[in-house]
Chain A
Amino acid sequence: QVTLKESGPALVKPTQTLTLTCTFSGFSLSTSAMRVSWIRQPPGKPLEWLARIDWDDDKFYSTSLKTRLTISKDTSKNQVVLTMTNMDPVDTATYYCARTLSGKLELRSYYYMDVWGKGTTVTVSS
Chain B
Amino acid sequence: DIQMTQSPSTLSASVGDRVTITCRASQNISSWLAWYQQKPGKAPKLLIYKASSLESGVPSRFSGSGSGTEFTLTISSLQPDDFATYYCQQYNSYAWTFGQGTKVEIK
Contact = CB atoms under 8 A, between A and B. Distances in A.
Interface of A: 37, 39, 46-49, 52, 60-64, 96, 103, 105, 108, 110-114, 116-119
A125 B67 CA distance: 43
Q: Is the interface of A mostly helix, strand, loop or mixed?
A: strand
A51 B32 CA distance: 18
Contacts of B94: 60
Interface of B: 1, 30-32, 34, 36, 38, 42-46, 49-50, 55, 87, 89, 91, 94-101
Given A46-B100, A112-B55, A103 B95 contact: no
Nearest to B91: A111
A113 B43 CA distance: 12
Contact of B50 (A47, A61, A103, A113): A103
8 contacts: A39-B44, A47-B98, A48-B98, A49-B96, A60-B95, A110-B50, A112-B55, A116-B44
Nearest to A6: B43
A96 B41 CA distance: 12
A79 B90 CA distance: 26
Nearest to B30: A108
A108 B30 CA distance: 10
A60 B96 CA distance: 9
Given A46-B98, A63-B95, A105-B31, A110 B49 contact: yes
B41 to A, nearest CB: 9
